Amino acid sequence: MGGKYATETLEATKGGIARAAEILRAGGLVAVPTETVYGLAARADKADAVARIYEAKGRPSFNPLIVHVSSMERAKKLANFEPEAEKLAAAHWPGPLTLVLPRKEGTGLADAVTAGLPTIALRMPDHSVMQALLVEAGVPLAAPSANRSGFISPTSAQHVLASLDGRIDAVIDGGECRSGVESTIVAVRPDGSIEELRPGPLSIAGDAVGKSEIEAPGQLASHYAPGKPVRLHVTMPEPDEFMIGFAQVAGDCSLSASGDLEEAASRLYACLHEGARSDKPRIAVAPVPTEGIGKAINDRLGRAATPAD
């Protein structure tokens, strides 16, 4: 695609992971499969490496990053775990749950990782490749989704290359992501109360939603945008619309013909990428129930359908 870097595609093997760890230790950027979406990893303890994430993504600097760790021991070096946070981590880590916790002083992490907030977002991913990479790299890795800021998240190495080829050092091709939507983000306050900042694969805090934009800058109204108009809750598409179906509502592509919400989540971004690539100037999406992971699907669809300012 032409760009600053000759982006390497690495295999999800011991050799590929060793090469990725070498690039990361040197301060480079590597896109890595996780169980949610592909992340764009850099070492979180080097300001210039973190700065390169923001540059490659075109991400606003007020939007902090999730720090990925391989162990509870490592996580506790970075944040204060109240008993409630400890319980959540014990129940759901490794897994698609990000905890926003009071950050410790003197951790050595780059300030840009937390965008100057007194809190830090931590996650222990449930994916063998990301886990192996964290262990091999030996440092916490900051990793937002591996896409240009504001656009559709990647669930395959091809999606990553479609937006970041030439802008990053490498991508590890680990096939398609299992879950397909980004982690649930939950803040645990010093008083032990819990606030859900972003719905995701896990339902933790009922229907509570984050209130402040600084606290959850990723909750911007327009995000995950395919670059053309998106119309929701459609059962009869117009001729110029690329139709994304669900259950009995058919389409040019279907989230899940059997109406399975887990399958729909795993196919959400692939369908949006297909719609973005199609000749049709608009995208329509069938209704998806808001139960369980359907809440996260509708959250992402709502923001994909909101035009950027």
Binding site for ligand AMP (CB under 6 A): 63-66, 100, 114, 117, 119-121, 144-145, 182, 185, 197-198, 215-218
Rounded to whole angstroms, the Cα distance separating 83 from 81 reads 6
CA 244 to chain CA centroid, Å, is 21
108 versus 281: smaller Cβ distance to ligand AMP: 108
Radius of gyration of the chain (CA): 19
Return residues touching Mg ion (CB under 5 A): 145
Nearest approach, Cβ of 66 to ligand AMP (angstroms)? 5
Letter string b/e over residues 35-66, b meaning 16 or more CB atoms within 10 A of that residue's CB: bbbbbbbbbbbbeebbebbbebbebeeebbbb
Q: Which is nearer to Mg ion, 185 or 261 (CB)?
A: 185
Residue holding tokens 């749950």? 97
Smallest separation (angstroms) from Mg ion to the CB of 57: 8
The single-letter code of the amino acid at 209 is: V
**What number of other Cβ atoms are within 10 A of residue 271's Cβ?**
24
From the list ligand AMP, Mg ion, none, which binds 265 (C-beta under 5 to 8 Å, kind-based)? Answer: none
Q: Which of Mg ion, ligand AMP, none interacts with 234 (beta carbon under 5 to 8 A by kind)?
A: none
Q: Which does 84 bind (CB under 5 to 8 A by kind): Mg ion, ligand AMP, none?
A: none
Of 220 and 250, the one with the shorter C-beta distance to Mg ion is: 220
Q: Using CB distances below 5 to 8 A depending on partner kind, what does residue 215 bind out of Mg ion, ligand AMP, none?
A: ligand AMP
Q: Six-digit token pair at 238?
A: 């117009």
Nearer to ligand AMP, 198 or 267 (CB): 198
Distance CA 176, CA 95 (A): 17
CB-closest chain residue to ligand AMP:
218
Could you write out the three-class secondary structure of 163-205? HHCCCCCEEEECCCCCCCCCCEEEEECCCCCEEEEECCCCCCC
Least distance CB 169 / ligand AMP (angstroms):
19
Residue 208 beta carbon to ligand AMP: minimum distance, rounded to whole angstroms: 14
Least Å from the CB of residue 278 to ligand AMP: 25
Nearer residue to Mg ion within complex by CB, 145 or 156: 145
The single-letter code of the amino acid at 16 is G
Separation CA 74–CA 13 (nearest Å): 24
Using the minimum distance from each CB to Mg ion, give the nearer residue, 114 or 145: 145
Q: Which does 100 bind (CB under 5 to 8 A by kind): ligand AMP, Mg ion, none?
A: ligand AMP
d(CA 144, CA 173): 17
Sign of CA dihedral 69, 178, 98, 28: positive
CB of 198 to ligand AMP, least distance (A): 6
Nearer to ligand AMP, 101 or 285 (CB): 101
Give least dist CB 21 to ligand AMP, A: 21
